[in-house]
Amino acid sequence: MPQRIFFAGTPSEAAHQAAPLADRLDLTLASPEIIVDAANPGDLVIFYSEHFDRFRDACQKLRQRDIATLYLVDGILEWRNAWENHPNEPACPYTMRPVLSHKIACIGASQARVVTSWGNPDKVEIVGLPRLDSLKQAKTSEALPDVFRLLVMTAKCPAFNEEQRDRVVQSLIDLKKWISEHPILAGKRVEVRWRLTAGLDQVIDVPNELHDLTGAELSSVLTHSDAVVSTPSTAALEAQLLDLPTAILDYTNSPQYVTSAWTISAAEHIGTILSELAEPREAKKVFQRFLLRDSLHLETSATDRLVDLVKKMLAVGKICIEQGTPLRFPSGMLSFPTCITAPIIGFKHETVYSDRPEFTQTNEIEVQTELAHARREIDHLNRQIEQLQSELGQAHNIFDQIQKHPIAGPVVRTREKIIGWLSDMKQPHPSSSHHQHASPKGKSSNQSKTQP
């Protein structure tokens, strides 16, 4: 019987996650309930979520029958979603602790480290995010000379309880207010586009440009933006992938599994951060690129890595069936990315340190000549310092001898005392200062006594 690959979820839920694989694999998209009845040992089932009972129950039943399962993580980890859920919400509060599937395809190295720390060392594989492969090739439109285009957006689920929602609302109100009071940034008119979820556009009364959550619309909006402010969201990674200066907006001040070079966690941060987004420092842009490479695998195609992982899991499943052994997968089925040791993209001294003309020199002989001259100057200055220190030491010795001299010593000490007294006399006495301040209408105390 041929091995089959299933993707668990309805078309409205999972079609956009499964789409990158459709041209590469013979894939069947179906609800988890249907897959449980249809799948056989040797098949592979891909889950985009382990949060809800219908997926968790299906995964458990499939594993009991030795049917391979793979959890394809579709976005970032979020602290509040993991640890501060509302007690009555339908999502399981223990998701990924542990992972139920045989393997978990993480979007990047930092996520893999976290999931590993949750007790899944043999299940973790770094794949990337296949649906973002096409975005790597996208280009943003040229900046406008007189307009700063700012995109403000929130995650699909911006809050997980009422307290968190109140803080998200307050952060958006503060942002809207500051922008209305500062319509010009870096000499450009601020043009704000709001892409808000969960009815937040109605709460703060702004026009909303959110009409689609599959990702296609967001890509278009991002390519016509200059900077982004976002609540913790995978969309923030998409903005960074286009090299847009991106600030994380989080008044809950929660720990961040995915970070950026800019963060707004209180109202007093808004002015500084928005000004920086309008004119970002090169050092922070480089740091954002570094953080992105740790959060999202970018070195190779995520789709290629996922297809490779699927084929390897199918091969292992086939061998286990032929040998009559329980289904087990080795750790590290994919090569570990070199994103941690690779150089930071865009780190150029001439741009990071643009205020230093030394880093713009390209003539090697001139640089070597200036270096040799600078070293000679340093040697000369060091010799001068040594000479001055020697002379200062000699002066100290002479002064010590004078102090100890039976005639000159007392004269010197008397002179020092007189100088000290004269210095004290020049300073205003604290009590007289107090009386002057206490006198009514600026008059001295003696003058006030003579008044009738």
Q: Do domains 5-131+301-323 and 135-297 have the same CATH topology?
A: yes
8 A C-beta contact, residue 87 and residue 68: no
Q: Which residue has the tokens 């001439």?
A: 350
CA distances for 431 relative to 24, 420, 435, 443, 449, angstroms: 90, 20, 6, 16, 18
Question: Could you tell me the residue ranges of all domains in the chain?
Answer: 5-131+301-323, 135-297, 364-398, 405-439
pTM of the full predicted structure?
0.77
Cα-flanking dihedrals φ and ψ of residue 70, to 5°? Answer: -135, 125
The CATH architecture that domain 5-131+301-323 belongs to is 3-Layer(aba) Sandwich (3.40)
**Res 198: pLDDT:** 96
Looking only at the bridges linking them, the beta strands covering 188-195 and 147-153 are parallel
What CATH number matches the domain at 135-297, 3.40.50.970, 3.30.930.10, 3.90.1200.10, 3.40.50.2000?
3.40.50.2000
5: β partners: 27, 44
8 A C-beta contact, residue 288 and residue 245: yes
8 A C-beta contact, residue 40 and residue 5: no
**Res 358: pLDDT:** 74
**Res 333: pLDDT:** 96
Q: Which residue has the tokens 């570094």?
A: 290
Mean pLDDT by 10 residues, the chain (452 residues): 95 92 94 97 97 96 98 96 82 92 97 95 96 91 95 95 95 98 97 97 96 80 97 97 97 94 98 98 95 95 97 97 96 76 54 69 82 88 91 84 77 77 70 47 41 36
Q: Which residue has the tokens 């109202």?
A: 267
**Res 429: pLDDT:** 58
- CA separation for the pair 238, 214 (Å, rounded): 13
What is the SS3 assignment for the chain?
CCCCEEEECCHHHHHHHHHHHHCCCCEEEECHHHHHHHCCCCCEEEECCCCCHHHHHHHHHHHHCCCEEEEECCCCCCHHHHHCCCCCCCCCCCCCCCCCCCEEEECCHHHHHHHHHCCCCCCEEECCCHHHCHHHHCCCCCCCCCEEEEEEECCCCCCCCHHHHHHHHHHHHHHHHHHHHCCEECCEEEEEEEECCCCHHHHHCCCCCCCCCCCHHHHHHHHCCCEEEECCCHHHHHHHHCCCCEEEECCCCCCCCCCCCEEECCHHHHHHHHHHHHCCCHHHHHHHHHHHHHHCCCCCCHHHHHHHHHHHHHHHHHHHHHHCCCCCCCCCCCCCCCCCCCCCCCCCHHHHCCCCHHHHCCCHHHHHHHHHHHHHHHHHHHHHHHHHHHHHHHHHHHHHHHHHCCCHHHHHHHHHHHHHHHHHHHCCCHHHHHHHHHCHHHCCHHHHHCCC
**Res 52: pLDDT:** 94
**Res 269: pLDDT:** 98
